[in-house]
């Protein structure tokens, strides 16, 4: 069913939320992605994805305490829900199966290189 | 909060975010934005952080983040309603053909002018956009002034600058990636074995082709222009010289006595929208191997262009600015007579010209203020036409009252009604646009016709983007013109308009309507009087006594042919009264400078000078106040005599003209030698530049080899036969080059053509403004008469005569015209005095102008008013009263 599958960026966001647990909020997530994936991420793209993930039920969130920083605005912390976790696992399994089905001589892979599936 | 006010993120972006963002997301997104902004502040400048913030906000415009807008508030109509509005709108246009016609014609006429202005602006602001490095290309502009005046007074810059700047910049300063030096060759002959072609081109450094992007080149990009005496031809020039033959490796002689150059490449013709234009490019190293003296001359600001490609370091512009300021100080220090000021000018500021550069431009260009002027004129008349629409729609709004009432009763919202009426006005504007585009096709050739130079500078290109711009423009005009009527009409109270129409405020906006009429006529009167002043000023300057007589004088360019031979043959013609020769033509905008040493003093004075034949003074009717001029038999042993004007005698402190004659003065005849010349005569002062400039000290010298023009004075009325005979003679003397001539009178008029163009343009605009205002007036009067037809009938039955009725109907409008007149006179005096002040010789602000200008407009308006009211006054009162 459409909407159950994870998009590539959604997957990255979910994983990064996991990495940052329990301190995953907007700016931190972005910084982490930018550093690890070496790509520019706009707040717009990130928040739009977070909204979508929350609608799908893959993440849940709650507000933190208000502080002097951030113009007095509260942070919103995200965490991956159980269904989010199973979606990640599904995606990973699918990939592993696909990688496993590629005949040896199809790709010119250099022996010994380790291709992490994220 | 630890963020002071002045380093906060841009406010409008925040408000925009708050407006579109889902409220439940807003708080933490805002927090994230602020946190990011604060982080950015540590890494970047405030402006960059703000820019990034704005981008982030715009990046948030994504589904999921944007809140739900109520569909009705963003979509006040369904498609069905839209069709209904269009249908009703078209019916209204058809049913009230007169009013629609008046509106459409008015809008179309003014739109065509605006469309033309838009095309001109699109053209001029599209210059030099094809260079990859366009944002990093700058050039050095220079100003020079006397040593004893403050440097701040130097505001008139030349596009050229002394060449040593280039070395100075590249040796002692950083920030500049490469420097391109250029020198313009304007009008030289290219000689190949079987052809001579006049052409113009540039000497450029070999990196010219890598700094600028002038299209495909055949040949080696980096090597083609490195060696001295190498040359690249433009494709069209190559075709003219060699046809389809390959020009590579061919030899071309530049100038009649010039050096041989070898063709090392062919380049695409430069695009039209380039401020640098050329037919050929020659290597700059050729000039260096010719060892021209002014290459090293720090005071020679007239001949060379220095373009720079800056590197990408931040703040490099400021660095180069400071570098040039330092060089200015250094050059000023080294020069005993002059101060210098050098500044960088960005490529984007070259066309249209920014205010600084006034001379030696590398190609044709127009100053910035001209575009303000054109835009202002376009704005004025579109405003006037928009007023017509607003006015007529307001006046007729009552007719729509019933429709509004019904629409409101069946549930129409005010917003929908506003939309409906704006759609109607946009519809009218779009129809006007179609007519306007047709009118534009008639306007464009006339625009080019205004002045022959226009077609060289402005290239009006019709493209889909232009038409899209036109469309957007007319929609905007429609919305603005329809806004006030739409707001007014949609505001009617439902019960009132349906139950009792007579209670509706008919006079709503009456003050506004009157104000608009007054304003329209004021503009007309202002434009008409300004046109008359411009025209009068042009005539005054043109016919002013310049101190010489050029009537019936024909200047023929000698193009290297001997003046002696040409004049001897021409003299035989019976149409020719006299012939003389000169290097330059008087008052056509060119001058040589000549340094003369003051007697008993090391100081020198710079004069304007000109080489002439002995009889030149007599032929051009320059009046001698002392001495006898040059001896009629030219001496063969070299230059001996010189003739000065009165100002020169005075500036050189030679006493009275009589005393000056016979004295010898020391003249710098070449860059390294002087010689003593005897003053053979003194002529009365004359205007050698044009009459708007002060009189310069001037010297006439003798030199047969330097005569470039033959000045032929014809017997009056013989022009035609003389021209054909002269052309035949020319063919015998020079079978290669074409016969080029111009009447001196026309060349003189050319000097004043900006004024003449100005008066033509303003004249055209004022004619259009009058037409539009009269159309509006006609609509208003017609509408008013319609409304009073019953009253007129009753008055007539009660014994009023036609004259009384016409007066009664017209007097309101007459009052408005009166007010417009009273307001326009002081405004016109103020504005016209302002520009006339800049002329030393100027027409007086006379009552006569106002009498004619204003009288003319008023008479036309009166005719319009009376023609509309007289019908009603003459009509049979029974007809007016019998039907309800």
Q: What is the reported pLDDT for B884?
A: 55
In B147-175, where do the E strands start and end? 157-158
Tokens 């002959």 found at: B189
Tell me the β-bridge partners of B385: none
User: Are B159 and B141 contacting, i.e. CB atoms less than 8 angstroms apart?
Assistant: yes
Q: What is the reported pLDDT for A37?
A: 86
Q: How far apart are CA B240 and CA B671, in angstroms?
A: 38
Q: What is the reported pLDDT for B636?
A: 56
Please tell me if residue A28 touches chain B, with a CB cutoff of 8 Å. Answer: no
Please tell me if residue B28 touches chain A, with a CB cutoff of 8 Å. Answer: yes
Q: pLDDT by residue (tens digit) across A31-44?
A: 999 998 888 888 88
Q: How far apart are CA B140 and CA B142, in angstroms?
A: 7
B65 to A63: CB separation less than 8 angstroms, yes or no: no
Chain B, 63 to 82: residues with Cβ < 8 Å from chain A are 63-65
ω into B352 cis (within 30 of 0): yes
Tokens 């009275």 found at: B656
User: Are B288 and B249 contacting, i.e. CB atoms less than 8 angstroms apart?
Assistant: no
Interface A-B: count of C-beta contacts within 8 A: 77
Q: pLDDT by residue (tens digit) across B784-815?
A: 888 888 888 889 889 888 888 889 888 888 99
ipTM, interface predicted TM-score of the complex: 0.84
Please tell me if residue B25 touches chain A, with a CB cutoff of 8 Å. Answer: yes
User: Are B843 and B540 contacting, i.e. CB atoms less than 8 angstroms apart?
Assistant: yes
Q: What is the reported pLDDT for A117?
A: 45
Q: What is the reported pLDDT for A1?
A: 39
Q: pLDDT by residue (tens digit) across B125-135?
A: 888 888 988 88
Residue B452: name the closest of B692, B739, B756 by CA.
B756
Residue B528: name the closest of B289, B876, B860 by CA.
B860
Q: What is the reported pLDDT for B1?
A: 38
Residue B99: name the closest of B767, B783, B771, B768 by CA.
B783
- Give CA torsion, residues B745, B751, B756, B762, to 10 deg: 170
Q: How far apart are CA B554 and CA B550, in angstroms?
A: 8
Q: How far apart are CA B477 and CA B428, in angstroms?
A: 10
Q: What is the reported pLDDT for A118?
A: 41
Q: How confident is the model at residue A112 (pLDDT cuts 50, 70, 90)?
A: very low
Q: What is the reported pLDDT for B203?
A: 92
Q: How far apart are CA B644 and CA B67, in angstroms?
A: 83
With helix as H, strand as E and coil as C, how does B270-320 read?
CCCCCCCCCCEEEEHHHHHHCCCHHHCCCCCCCCEEEEEEECCCCCHHHHH
Q: How confident is the model at residue A2 (pLDDT cuts 50, 70, 90)?
A: very low
Identity of the residue in B1, B2, B60 whose CB atom sits nearest the CB atom of A47: B60
Mutation site, B62, B63, B67, interface A, largest A CB count within 10 A: B62
B27 to A72: CB separation less than 8 angstroms, yes or no: no
pLDDT for A113 beyond 60: no
Please tell me if residue B259 touches chain A, with a CB cutoff of 8 Å. Answer: no
Tokens 């208000």 found at: A66
Residues of chain B with pLDDT under 50: 1-5, 72-74
Q: How many C-beta atoms lie closer than 10 Å to residue B320's C-beta?
A: 22
């Amino acid at each position: 069913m459409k909407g159950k599958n994870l998009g590539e960026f959604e997957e990255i966001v979910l994983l990064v939320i996991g990495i940052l647990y329990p301190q995953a909020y907007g700016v931190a997530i972005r910084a982490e992605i930018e550093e690890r994936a070496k790509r520019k991420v706009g707040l717009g793209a990130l928040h739009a994805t977070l909204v979508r993930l929350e609608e799908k039920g893959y993440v849940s969130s709650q507000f933190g305490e208000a502080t002097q920083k951030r113009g007095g605005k509260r942070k919103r912390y995200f965490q991956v829900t159980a269904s989010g976790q199973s979606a990640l696992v599904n995606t990973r399994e699918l990939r592993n199966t696909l990688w496993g089905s590629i005949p040896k001589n199809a790709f010119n892979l250099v022996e010994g290189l380790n291709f992490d599936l994220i | 909060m630890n963020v002071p006010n002045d380093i906060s993120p841009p406010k409008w972006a925040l408000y925009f975010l708050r407006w579109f963002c889902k409220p439940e997301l807003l708080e933490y997104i805002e927090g994230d934005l602020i946190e990011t902004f604060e982080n950015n502040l540590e890494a970047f400048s405030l402006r960059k952080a703000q820019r990034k913030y704005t981008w982030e906000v715009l990046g948030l415009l994504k589904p999921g983040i944007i809140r739900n807008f109520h569909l009705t508030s963003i979509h006040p109509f369904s498609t069905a309603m839209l069709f209904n509005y269009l249908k009703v709108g078209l019916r209204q246009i058809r049913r009230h053909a007169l009013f629609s016609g008046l509106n459409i014609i008015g809008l179309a006429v003014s739109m065509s002018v605006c469309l033309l202005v838009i095309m001109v602006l699109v053209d001029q602001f599209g210059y030099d956009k094809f260079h990859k490095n366009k944002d990093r290309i700058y050039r050095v502009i220079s100003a020079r002034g006397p040593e004893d005046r403050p440097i701040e007074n130097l505001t008139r810059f030349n596009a050229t600058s002394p060449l040593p700047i280039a070395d100075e910049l590249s040796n002692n300063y950083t920030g500049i990636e490469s420097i391109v030096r250029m020198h313009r060759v304007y009008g030289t002959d290219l000689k190949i074995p079987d052809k001579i072609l006049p052409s113009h081109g540039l000497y450029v450094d070999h990196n010219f082709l890598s700094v600028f992007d002038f299209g495909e080149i055949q040949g080696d990009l980096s090597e083609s222009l490195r060696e001295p005496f190498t040359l690249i031809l433009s494709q069209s020039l190559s075709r003219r010289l060699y046809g389809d033959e390959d020009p590579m490796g061919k030899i071309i002689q530049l100038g009649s006595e010039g050096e041989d150059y070898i063709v090392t490449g062919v380049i695409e013709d430069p695009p039209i929208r380039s401020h640098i234009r050329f037919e050929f490019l020659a290597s700059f190293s050729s000039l260096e191997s010719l060892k021209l003296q002014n290459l090293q001359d720090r005071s020679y600001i007239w001949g060379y262009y220095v373009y720079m490609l800056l590197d990408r370091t931040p703040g490099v512009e400021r660095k180069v600015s400071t570098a040039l300021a330092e060089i200015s100080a250094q050059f000023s220090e080294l020069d005993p007579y002059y101060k210098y000021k050098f500044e960088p000018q960005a490529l984007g500021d070259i066309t249209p010209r920014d205010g600084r550069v006034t001379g030696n431009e590398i190609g044709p260009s127009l100053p910035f203020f001209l575009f303000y002027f054109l835009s202002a004129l376009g704005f004025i008349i579109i405003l006037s036409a928009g007023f017509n629409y607003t006015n007529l729609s307001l006046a007729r709004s009552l007719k729509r009252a019933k429709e509004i009432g019904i629409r409101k009763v069946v549930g129409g919202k005010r917003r929908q009604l506003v939309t409906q009426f704006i759609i109607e006005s946009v519809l009218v504007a779009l129809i006007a646009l179609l007519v306007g585009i047709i009118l534009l096709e008639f306007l464009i050739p006339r625009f080019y016709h205004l002045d022959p130079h226009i077609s060289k500078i402005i290239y009006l290109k019709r493209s889909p983007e232009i038409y899209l711009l036109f469309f957007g423009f007319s929609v905007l005009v429609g919305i603005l013109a329809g806004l006030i009527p739409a707001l007014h009409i949609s505001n009617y109270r439902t019960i009132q308009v349906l139950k009792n129409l007579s209670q509706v405020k008919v006079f709503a906006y009456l003050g506004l309507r009157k104000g608009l009429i007054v304003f329209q006529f004021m503009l007309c009167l202002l434009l008409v009087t300004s046109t008359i002043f411009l025209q009068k000023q042009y005539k005054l300057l043109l016919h002013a006594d310049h101190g010489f007589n050029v009537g019936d004088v024909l200047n023929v360019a000698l193009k290297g042919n001997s003046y002696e031979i040409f004049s001897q043959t021409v003299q035989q013609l019976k149409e020719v009264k006299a012939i003389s020769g000169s290097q330059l033509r008087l008052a056509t905008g060119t001058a040589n400078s000549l340094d003369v040493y003051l007697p008993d003093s090391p100081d020198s004075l710079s004069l304007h000078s000109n080489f002439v034949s002995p009889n030149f003074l007599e032929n051009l009717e320059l009046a001698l106040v002392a001495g006898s001029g040059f001896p009629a038999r030219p001496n063969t042993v070299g230059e001996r005599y010189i003739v000065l004007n009165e100002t020169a005698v005075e500036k050189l402190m030679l006493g009275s003209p009589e005393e000056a004659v016979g004295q010898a003065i020391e003249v710098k005849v070449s860059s390294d030698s002087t010689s003593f010349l005897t003053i053979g005569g003194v002529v009365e002062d004359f205007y050698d530049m044009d009459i708007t400039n002060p009189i310069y000290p001037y010297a006439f010298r003798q030199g047969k080899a330097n005569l470039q023009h033959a000045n032929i004075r014809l017997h009056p009325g013989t022009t035609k036969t003389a021209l054909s005979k002269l052309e035949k003679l020319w063919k015998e003397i020079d079978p290669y080059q074409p016969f080029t001539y111009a009447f001196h009178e026309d060349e003189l008029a050319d000097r004043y053509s900006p004024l003449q163009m100005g008066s033509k343009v303003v004249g055209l605009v004022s004619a259009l403004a009058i037409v539009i205002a009269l159309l509006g007036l006609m609509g208003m009067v017609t509408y008013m008469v319609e409304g009073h037809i019953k009253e007129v009938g009753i008055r007539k039955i009660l014994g009023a005569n036609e004259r009384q009725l016409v007066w009664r109907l017209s007097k309101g409008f007459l009052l408005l015209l009166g007010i417009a007149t009273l307001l326009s006179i002081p405004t016109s005096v103020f504005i016209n005095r302002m520009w006339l002040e800049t002329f030393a010789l100027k027409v007086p602000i006379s009552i006569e102008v106002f009498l004619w200008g204003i009288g003319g407009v008023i008479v036309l308006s009166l005719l319009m008013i009376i023609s509309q009211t007289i019908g009603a006054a003459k009509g049979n009162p029974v007809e007016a009263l019998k039907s309800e």
